Chains A and B, each alone.
Chain A
Amino acid sequence: MVFAFGNNWSNFSKYVGDVFGSILGAEGIFAFFLESGFLGILLFGWNRVGPKMHFFSTVMVAFGAHFSAVWIVFANSWMQTPTGHKIVMHNGMERAVMNNFWEVLFNPSALDRLTHVLLGCWLTGAFLVLSVSAFYLLKRRHEEFALRSFKIALWVAVLGVLLQLVSGDSSARGVAKNQPIKLAAFEGVYETSKGPSGMYLGGIVWPKERKVTGIEIPGALTLLVHRNLKDPIPGLDQYAPELWPRVGVVFQTYHLMIMMWGLMFLAVVLSLIALKRKKLLTSRFTLWLLVYSVLFPQIANQAGWFSAEMGRQPWAVQGLLKTQDAASPTVTAGQVIASLVLYSFIYLLIFVLFIFLLDKKIKHGPDDKVEPVEYRDHLPDGEPRERGTL
């Protein structure tokens, strides 16, 4: 990413460099080194350090990941709700220059969004462990191990799902206050209603007709945003259409995110019931749901980020810099397409390999008894077989 800003978004880099740069620099120095340094000990240090030191390294890696999230989400939040800067002219172009470091860092959306992102990451981790544990329980392998990790992950998931509800509510009210167009697009509010506005659980957006068809809970949106049933929610009709994001897309990604939360909630509730009735091992439906539940937080995170970023359009930095003005003027469309295709191909390839290796690792299980195994390939005649270990 630190390359991509300069490659594809050179005007953005010039515009925000003064504000952004120090935040990204802090991320590199405080987070990356911590994570990568102790990751070495975590992976290779089993025979070199004691168990306490090894645990400490594991904690440091976790801290590193959290610090990364802190700085990067703060930087991104500044793009949503910029504060603490002033605009100056430099080398013939407008720039945002830092005025107050703490105001830049703790901009209005920073803490809400950080909490939301971190909870999303915890849920991702918890449901991965739940999924693998449920798989072992279904296959009756490593049962004791799987049950223990299942319970730990379940409690993290319960906590995460509940807290995410609070955090989501707080984030959405922040969006309503700071980026009302974005909220209107999320909820598909085309017209400012006179009475309380309803909230769609899901539906289809008709951008041309400026209408939404869907299941609606009357009054719910006004209640959630204003905590009363009187104050109106400003609709998209209050703003010029060139300042609207793609309503049809962000409405769907936003609702997909909420739907995924619903599925996580369901998975957690069913597991708790099964555990309470001591029927976890025979609740095949619940266990299979959990095996697939690894996808729910992944989809929710992606959908959430798409909503946050596409919902901000046409702005790259809300109210300051349009996305079309942020791109690199000297880079051609051909270069962008070529690199995009290349990276997509590479990531797809790596994703397939990752799934293949993860699947292998999961099926291999936690008993890490290493014994010399022979290569599986058929070798040409006459060549001696080499021995290797995993």
Chain B
Amino acid sequence: MTYGLELFWYIVIIASICNYAMLDGFDLGVGCLHLFTSKDHERRIFLNAIGPVWDGNEVWLVIVVGALFAGFPDAYATLFSSFYFPLTVLITGLIFRACAIEFRSKVLSRRWRATWDLLFCVASAVISFAVGIALGNLIYGIPLNENHDYVGGIIFTFLHPYALLVGALVFTLFVMHGAIFLVMKTDGQLQEKIKQWVNPTIILFIITYAITTLVTLIYLPYMAERFRERPYLFILVVFNMLAIANIPREISRGKAGWAFLSSCANILFLMVLFALGTFPWLVRSTIETDLHSLTVTNAAASSMTLGVLSIIVAIGIPLVIAYGFYVYHIFRGKVHIEDHSY
């Protein structure tokens, strides 16, 4: 089977999810850690560490959804109308989180700030879990009929143990990623304090990762099929292990930037493993998988549209990367509270 532009567009979507996890992943992680310090000043440093960039990071989620809509309209339509409940939870989380970040420091009242702090933390955790649950359901599959329409329940079809496990995996991944990011953006006493948090988050992540891998290999053997066919792909798993192992090493050497890059590499490899396991399914059907699933081929838009999209991406992505780098460059270095801070 040869693929054309639809394969390119699939890679664009996977790369966008990867970018989303690397970028919004750390600001969600920072949100999950927000309540671990009780000092107003430190909480403000947390908020201002992500302040200038969280908004742009979140756009990657919009890009993932938009790219799916554009390139694979049928997969988009089926996925979003069936994941109605989880997505409602996700959107509610996104709205409250944005409000919490924007509103929190605008009123000098302890009760006001405590309320938004709580909402910020809970919303960040809920979003992280929801992203994981969505990915878990994509791996596990959902029941589709012969028209690729969803035939499962409203809520509990999505909350099976495997999806919850992947939810926990993404949650621990983001918390670890966020903690490393904070080490990079802070100095002095606060940095020492956060450094103490990094190792427990790594251990928590590794445990969840190990359990998820075991469960996947035992109960969802199809995820490993491509690796059995092409054993050289195992090198990716080895790289993934090395990336994770490198994180505590760089932290203890005091190179937080390298630790953060290792954590990004870890996310990249996880995403590649996900893509290699699930390709060519976009939405795997648990009923008659071979016939009812939505794949890269049967859900793709017309070649004309995919062509137009490729041109848009070819012009747009270099621009996005250029000013993305520029913004991160401007806000490089340690965070200090200024007049215009949150």
Residues of A within 8 A of B (CB): 2-3, 5-8, 10-11, 13-14, 16-22, 24-30, 32-34, 36-41, 43-49, 88, 90-92, 97-99, 101, 328-332, 335, 339, 342-343, 346, 350, 353, 357, 360, 368, 370, 373-377, 379, 386, 388-390
Contact = CB atoms under 8 A, between A and B. Distances in A.
B52 A29 contact: no
Contacts of B40: 386, 388
B80 A24 contact: no
Given A25-B66, A91-B298, A37 B324 contact: yes
Given A6-B81, A17-B301, A101-B308, A29 B316 contact: yes
B330 A10 contact: no
A29 B308 CA distance: 13
A41 B327 contact: yes
A360 B105 CA distance: 13
The majority secondary structure among interface residues of chain A is helix
B324 A21 contact: no
Contact of B65 (A2, A91, A98, A377): A2
Contacts of A36: 55-56, 58-59
A37 B305 contact: no
B79 A47 contact: no
B340 A43 contact: yes
B54 to A, nearest CB: 9
B30 interface: no
Looking at chain B, what size class is its interface with the partner chain?
35 or more
B316 A30 contact: yes
A329 B77 CA distance: 11
B78 interface: yes
B273 interface: no
A16 B82 CA distance: 19
A11 B76 CA distance: 11
B67 interface: yes
Contacts of B80: 3, 5-7, 10, 13
Given A13-B73, A30-B316, A40 B95 contact: no
Given A17-B74, A49-B330, A92-B147, A98 B305 contact: yes
Contact of B70 (A8, A25, A386): A25
A46 B331 contact: no
A309 to B, nearest CB: 20
Contact of B73 (A17, A92, A99, A343): A17
